[in-house]
Amino acid sequence: MNAPGRPNWDAATSRFVRIAALDDALGLIGWDQRTMMPEGSAESRAEMVATLEVMRHELLAGAALADYVAAAAGEVARDDDADGEWRRANVREMARSLAHARALPSDLVAARARAEGACEIRWRAARPAGDYAAVLPALAEVLGLAREAAATKGAAFGLAPYDALLDQHEAGLRAPRVDALFASLEDFLPDFLARALDRQARRPAPLPIAGPFPVARQRAIAHEMMAALGFDFRFGRLDETLHPFSGGAADDHRITTRYDEDDFAPALMGVLHETGHAIYDFGLPLAWRHQPVGTARGMVIHESQSLLVEMGVCRSRAFLGWAAPRIAAAFDGVGPEWSADNQWRRAALVKPDFIRVDADEVTYPAHILLRTRLERALLDRSLSPSDLPDAWTDGMRSLLGIVPPDDRLGCLQDIHWYVGSFGYFPTYTLGALAAAQLLAAARAADPDIEPGIARGDFAPLFSWLRSNIHGYGSLLSAEELIARATGRPLDTAAFEAHLTARYLG
């Protein structure tokens, strides 16, 4: 990373080290806010976060940093050593961060942080009660500020407002690209779902596995599976929260889940999903730590890594052949219901249901299609937040043929909109497409990956991922990264082939 004789480069990179430290602090504060914070601390915590967000924003948006970055581009333009490409990409990513920051005034950044913190606290009380009315005023405020930010950034970048929000989560992602991939899925999925359900109905149903499953035992098997996948507990931990996530800081990965003593599978699969996120972060290039080019590429790649682990690997026959006896031992389980075959049939069960994070991989895209449509409608004002519950119900009936009995299982289930994360949802399904494409390429490149999974050895898989995805950080765009790793642009073919092999094979 060092570039002797490049004073502007040195000045810019040193400031980004400070910005990275603020990001780490905000990550750990956010973890605490969602897991440990006393309810009465919400107001002071929102002010703390707003202050740090403004500090971060002012560091990024200041004229001095913009001048350093612009001059640094000239200093590294002709570098032909091994790090030259990385330096130029780092300047590009710096400039992108600056552009997003400078598009918004500090008072809007602070207002959003305060409103989102207050709304999250209301959502945490409203969700278990199914009381959408209790959080509606706070959501309306968050939405209004998100609209303002989207319009402001859109005007600054010459983009449609929704594209400006997509770009925050995945550089270069635009609605037409999302729409094209989603249209392909919409052509494929309805008929496929019907065929998968018909095929499933002609097979014996999986045997139920009766609980209760004590939280302590669920936590123990989750720790065992995390460690087997390669999670390093010297640099991370597992905790509980209302909405599972992976976050924290560069060397302090915080994974969270929620437990149900009637069914161990949702928490375990959620942990495996978040472990995929964390292992990606563990594999980012150390030489570029605390610089934009050394960070995760974006949420399409990030979600591809979590879904590759959870859906592609940990719901496979190979994985469950190895994991099933360990899961059974964790709960003192005996009998045919604990067999590897029965546990696989439970993990691969296709069933339209209300909760996105517990959805099977066939119906999961429908959840994302619904949320993408609704958030776009909320942002362009064709849908009022007061009408969101009815629109949600209509969408679930249309896409999956089911109607949520209450808002807890409907529009209150996800935290994203209540903390201002509009434009994030499409990255889940784009990540699922990328996961299938990357896993197919990995298996083709290394024939020991599948046998490795079957014996509980995940080193071959993660070695390929580190070499082809993790180690690149943000050197390339997501589209370039996927094309380089798989030999073709992102499409739906590998995902459709994966579903066909697993559910119709």
CA 74 to chain centre: 35
- Distance of alpha carbon 440 from alpha carbon 432, whole angstroms: 12
- Distance of alpha carbon 387 from alpha carbon 395, whole angstroms: 12
The tokens for 49 are 């976060």
The tokens for 290 are 């605390």
Q: Checking DSSP bridges between strand 236-240 and strand 252-257, what pairing results, if any?
A: parallel
**Do residues 432 and 498 make contact, with C-beta atoms less than 8 angstroms apart?**
no
Q: Checking DSSP bridges between strand 246-249 and strand 236-240, what pairing results, if any?
A: unpaired
Residue type, 341: D
Task: Provide CB contacts within 8 A for 101, sequence distance 6+.
Answer: 57, 60, 61
- Distance of alpha carbon 397 from alpha carbon 153, whole angstroms: 35
Q: Encode 243-303 in three state secondary structure.
A: CCCEEEECCEEEEEECCCCCCCHHHHHHHHHHHHHHHHHHCCCHHHCCCHHHCCCCHHHHH
Q: Could you give phi then psi for residue 380, rounded to 5 degrees?
A: -90, 10
Find the catalytic residue in 274, 303, 310, 375: 274
* Cross-strand bridge partners of residue 257: 240
**Do residues 314 and 454 make contact, with C-beta atoms less than 8 angstroms apart?**
no
- Angstrom distances, CA of residue 413 to CA of 124, 193, 246, 399, 430: 10, 24, 17, 17, 21
Clarify whether 274 is annotated catalytic: yes
**Do residues 495 and 434 make contact, with C-beta atoms less than 8 angstroms apart?**
no
Catalytic positions, please? 274
